[in-house]
Structure 1
């Protein structure tokens, strides 16, 4: 399947492609941290350590990205074959942050681990540059992930969204996702800043039509 494009006045064409172009790892990590730093901060702060760590442990082949004139402006990840967009073993965390400060970070990161059910492609969030938000880039990224899911024979796409990110949830609903379960996690509000996680699903091959 070829790349999708969209024109935005003054911005040139937004091109969506699979994988991260070589040399964009740092920018990808910055976008990811901008989008999820509030959520991941307790585990990976400070930013000057978190961004290099994320950049060094990205799985480029588990991403779809949005580019304008070769500049990375957005990305989305998915989990396939046991690997997602972001990686990094417990040992890598301990090496980056030290054993004394790293152990509790490893434990916090385990709270974010998710496993897909049978027939599900697990989507790993969307990060779009602040200057492009609300201009259709997120929708293009979602539809490219949906194309991956269809080609790989999955029945549905699943994602989780936290209660402090209503903008993302609204985008997912517009693209055909439906909330199926909300897990209240009040014990995490003080620790991680959110108190509920909602699981959303979209049948493969139906979301784009439903969103029109």
Structure 2
């Protein structure tokens, strides 16, 4: 008989605000894995795209789930006109060159979202494939709600594309409600999706209280 293999237990994820220094490449890889289909037309090739994302992260606009010290999931949010992913027109032109960079700017502008007064905008959520199905997405969403509460926001807003039904199901389980869907057939061949649904989750002081109790 073969000796029984010992399974190392996975520790519970630790939720932390802020992208840890030194984990930029990991976070960029997770973000690209989740949104590369959407961002590809603007930032491809993949290796250059991941490097661009890593170089222009706003560390204070991310929430991470750490498992054994490694980032297993990340959620970004936008407040005060700053989100997890940064990089302006000048950065794009510097990274890709003027000739190749200029056509990318309108594509990036199509994906730009601004928060209304009293609103926190989600800037994407990504969980490593080996850690999916373990509740990490829900933990990140609860922390996002707590951040919104602490900044006196009345709601959290996000957009989900039609080819990502798993993400929409996650959002719905955590209180997000679809408020409108914009059909974008002109983007299907370019970015791989044909509709974008905007979802809202009301924010109440209970969100912060639930987070404190969970600690």
Q: TM-score, normalised by structure 1?
A: 0.92
Paired residue secondary structure (1:17): strand
Match of 1:146 in 2: 145
Deviation of 1:43 (Å): 0.5
Say yes or no: does 1:100 pair with 2:99: yes
Match of 1:83 in 2: 82
Q: TM-score, normalised by structure 2?
A: 0.91
Deviations 1:3-46 (A, max 9, x none): xxxxxx93112000100111001100000000000110010011
Q: Report the Cα distance in structure 1 between the residues aligned to 2:82 and 2:207, rounded to whole angstroms.
A: 24
Q: What does residue range 109-148 of structure 1 map to in structure 2 within 5 Å?
A: 109-148=108-147
Deviation of 1:80 (Å): 0.7
Deviation of 1:118 (Å): 2.1
The alpha-carbon distance between structure 1 residues 137 and 60, as it changes in their structure 2 partners (threshold 3 A), is same
Deviations 1:45-92 (A, max 9, x none): 111100110000000000000001110111000001110000001111
Match of 1:73 in 2: 72
Q: Judge conservation of contact 1:126–1:138 (CA < 8 Å) in 2.
A: yes
Q: Report the Cα distance in structure 2 between the residues aligned to 1:15 and 1:103, rounded to whole angstroms.
A: 41
Say yes or no: does 1:175 pair with 2:195: no
Say yes or no: does 1:22 pair with 2:21: yes
Paired residue secondary structure (1:12): coil
Structure ID, larger Rg: 2
Q: Judge conservation of contact 1:116–1:122 (CA < 8 Å) in 2.
A: yes
Paired residue secondary structure (2:81): coil
RMSD over equivalenced CA pairs, Å: 1.4
Deviation of 1:207 (Å): 7.5
Q: Report the Cα distance in structure 2 between the residues aligned to 1:69 and 1:15, rounded to whole angstroms.
A: 9
Q: Judge conservation of contact 2:15–2:63 (CA < 8 Å) in 1.
A: yes
Q: Which has the higher strand share?
A: 1
Match of 2:197 in 1: 198
- The runs of 4+ residues in structure 1 deviating greater than 3 Å are 206-209
Q: Judge conservation of contact 2:79–2:115 (CA < 8 Å) in 1.
A: no
Residues matched between the structures, number: 201
